[in-house]
Amino acid sequence: MCASCPSCLFLIWIRSLYRPAPVRVIRPALHLLTSWLLTVLLLTAALAPSPARAEGVEITQAALEYTDEGYKLALSFSFELTRGLEDAVTRGIPLYFTTEVQLTRPRWYWFDEKAVSASQTIRISYNVLTHQYHASIGGLLKQSFTSLDDALSLVRRPSRWVVAEKGALKSGEVYNVAVRMGLDVARLPKPFQVHAMNSSDWRFSSDWKQFTFRAE
């Protein structure tokens, strides 16, 4: 019987339960068995998969403002593209960054009322012939840039945009606002949609950021 083999140590421990054994045998065996079990537990914890979470985007500012045009959302983001996303856009594959916003009004007697649900998509693309990057918002506004970082500034610091018309919210009521932004995989070409679902380089999104707003 080997004094350092885990299975033999286990047998020594079992036998010690049924018949006395010399202390000089039991103590070293129990010490080695305890060390072995602790090592196994530490390795199991280290190799266990960590919980999935949103990666890549941090919302650094989020505020809702009442204007003559309606309720406008002011946002700013902090992020850097992954190498996979940089390679894709420089090869001519457009990337779509969609911001989603939801406004709900709490009701103590029933489910929360979903007052507003809006989204805005910014498209970043690259023209391999002109060596210019292009950014468009909702397919309407289009701007050209000489570098990818300049084009992404439109995503990081977008202009304020109307998420609710005047009169859409009840004056004096408090609303819960939830905002998030990320890569819109559903707008990618079909082959890349499948790839994006299985590649960590393409998992690019913020968590939901929540705050309250009192309507005017």
pLDDT digits (tens, 9 = 90+) for 46-94: 333 333 334 589 999 999 999 999 999 999 999 999 998 999 999 999 9
| Residues 30 and 125 both lie in one domain | no
Instruction: Compute φ and ψ for 47, nearest 5 degrees.
Output: -90, -5
Q: Is there a single domain that holds both residue 27 and residue 130?
A: no
Whether residue 113 sits in one domain with residue 41: no
Both 86 and 116 in a single domain?
yes
Domain count, the chain: 2
Say yes or no: 92 and 173 in one domain: yes
Neighbouring CB atoms inside 10 A of 182's CB total 21
Q: Which domain does 27 fall in, by range?
A: 6-47
Q: Does residue 187 contact residue 96 with C-beta atoms inside 8 Å?
A: yes
Tell me which residue has tokens 């079909």.
Answer: 190
Q: Clarify whether residues 196 and 122 are in a common domain.
A: yes
**CA 134 to CA 145: how far, in whole Å?**
6
Beta-carbon contacts of residue 41 (< 8 Å; ≥ 6 apart): none
pTM over 0.85: no
Q: Where are the alpha helices (DSSP H) in the chain?
A: 6-18, 23-47, 83-90, 148-156, 190-197
Instruction: Give CA–CA dist 19/22, Å, rounded.
Output: 10
Report the C-alpha gap between 63 and 162 in whole angstroms: 12
Residues 64 and 125 in one domain: yes
In a domain, 1, yes or no: no
> Would 52 be classed as within a structural domain?
no
Residues 191 and 141 in one domain: yes
Query: What percent of the chain is predicted at pLDDT more than 90?
Result: 56
Identify whether residues 79 and 154 lie together within a single domain. Answer: yes
Q: Is residue 105 part of a domain?
A: yes
Residue 26 and residue 116 in one domain: no
38 and 70 inside one domain: no
| Residues paired with residue 144 on neighbouring β-strands, in sequence order | 134
pLDDT band at 38 (very low <50, low <70, confident <90, very high): very low
Q: Which residues of 56-87 are buried (b: 16+ CB within 10 A; e: fewer)?
A: bbebeebebebeeebbbbebebebebbeebee
More confident residue, 52 or 163: 163
Structure tokens at 214: 């009192």
**What pLDDT, on a 0 to 100 scale, did the predictor assign at position 50?**
33
Q: Could you tell me if residue 166 is inside a domain?
A: yes
